[in-house]
Structures are given as C-alpha cells and as structure tokens.
Amino acid sequence: MFGLSSDIQTGEVHVWRVELMQPEHVIQALRSTLEQDELFRADRFHFEKDRRAFVVSRGFLREIIGRYTNTRPEQLRFAYGPYGKPALEGRLRFNMSHSHDLALIALTEDHELGVDVEYMRADFASADIARRFFSPVEVEVFNSLAQEDQVAAFFRCWTRKEAFIKATGKGLSQPLEGFDVTLGPREPAALLRVDGEDASRWTLSDVKIDEGYAAALAVEGRVSEIRFFSA
C-alpha cells in the first residue's frame, strides 16, 4: 500500500494546473514513464496534438501522484473501476480532466472526487445540446436566462455535471437527467438533487482558471480548503 505524503491535510483538495503545450524533450521524458496500455491509447489518436496532450496529461498525472506517494512515476500501477475510472491502492484519491491547452489534476484523501475543465465554445452552448444533456430543471433555468448569460451558464452546468459523474465513477452510465445542479449567474455551485441518494453529502465547487475556460470540482463529503498549484 502506498503511503500518503503529509503535504495534503484531511479535508483538503489539491488542484494542479498543467500546461499541455510542452517542448519535445519534456514530452519524451513523460512518455518514458507511461505503461504500454497508455502508450497504445496515445498512439490511437488521429491527430498529433491529441496524442501529445494525452502523453502530457498522463505523464504529469504520474509525476504529481509520485510526489504524494513517494513513488517513481513509472512504477505507479493504476487499477480501473467498472466504468474505467483509474485508482490506486491506498488513501489517495485523484481525478484528471483536460481541454484545449490545459489539464487539471485534483487529489484528496479518503473521499471520491471528480474534476472537469472545458474550453468555452459559444457555438457548442446551444439550447439543443442543453436539452440532450441537462435535466428538465436545468433546461428550464438555462432557457430563462438572458442570451448574454447563457454561454457561461451552459458551461457552469456542463462542468458541474461532468465533475459529479466522474466523482461517482459511473461516467455517462449515470443518467444525466437523474440529478440537478445550479447554473444561474448568481447561484453558488451546488448539487440540488440526486435520484436515490442524499445530495447534501456531495460538495460542488467552481474552479477559477484561465479566461475562456470553465471548471468544477465534486467531492464526496465536506471540503475544508481547496489549494491550487501549477506543475
């Protein structure tokens, strides 16, 4: 079992910001830490930019987890849940998301968590997409907003929902209409309802990141502090 570094305290969540645009020598060094299945996944991407982003995000995930577990990055061995969520034996919990040129890696101890970051594209934030992926309550709120508020509200909702389904480990197998999140411009991040369970046992938080991006964090239980770092 891996030991947990004392750098992370009970109730804390650490969020690491990673630049995906890295020089070639960094990419090759990170690539050398990956397992064969990760290299296979990287090489399946059609576009070089996507291959490089996968290598950088997975490589930095290994580097950062290695700092917390006092383990060489290439020695880490991930297990995968029934829906593909990676995990390690021990107390450390982690999750990662990347979009466009940035990745976020979130870590805590003993509590499941999920993180999501999205590059905000106005052409994607449509009422049709909202009807496909949001709950009826969320669609109603989205449609009630002024047009100039809808893009930001769309990505608040999207990242909060994505962070939650990643935290549960169920991904898109969890019905997206089965839970509601806040999305209004003056509403704090919150999970309002989850079918079959108490929504109050989850903490939702927005993650402030570069202009043009939205990000959110979902944690099972209470969070005492969110600390931010750059890799």
C-alpha 61: how far from chain center = 12
> Taking 90 as the threshold, does the pLDDT of residue 50 lie above it?
yes
Residue 2 is predicted with a pLDDT of 45
Distance CA 61, CA 105 (A): 7
Q: Residue 194's pLDDT band (boundaries 50, 70, 90)?
A: very high
106-127 average pLDDT score: 96
Contact 114, 166 (CB under 8 A): yes
pLDDT digits over 201-210, tens only?
A: 999 999 999 9
100-125 average pLDDT score: 97
39 domain-assigned = yes
Q: Do residue 83 and residue 120 come from a single domain?
A: no
CATH number of the domain at 42, please.
Answer: 3.90.470.20
Q: Do residue 99 and residue 122 come from a single domain?
A: no
Residue 4 is predicted with a pLDDT of 53
155-181 average pLDDT score: 94
Range of the domain at 95: 12-111
209 burial type by CB count under 10 A (0-12 exposed, 13-18 middle, 19+ buried) = middle
Q: Do residue 168 and residue 99 come from a single domain?
A: no
| Global pTM value | 0.94
Distance CA 61, CA 151 (A): 30
> Taking 80 as the threshold, does the pLDDT of residue 3 lie above it?
no
176 burial type by CB count under 10 A (0-12 exposed, 13-18 middle, 19+ buried) = middle
> Taking 70 as the threshold, does the pLDDT of residue 71 lie above it?
yes
Mean pLDDT of the chain: 94
Q: Do residue 214 and residue 120 come from a single domain?
A: yes
* Number of structural domains found in the chain: 2
Distance CA 222, CA 9 (A): 13
> Taking 90 as the threshold, does the pLDDT of residue 136 lie above it?
yes
146 domain-assigned = yes
1 domain-assigned = no
7 domain-assigned = no
pLDDT digits over 137-153, tens only?
A: 999 999 999 999 999 99
Instruction: Indicate the residue among 80, 111, 142 that finishes a domain.
Output: 111
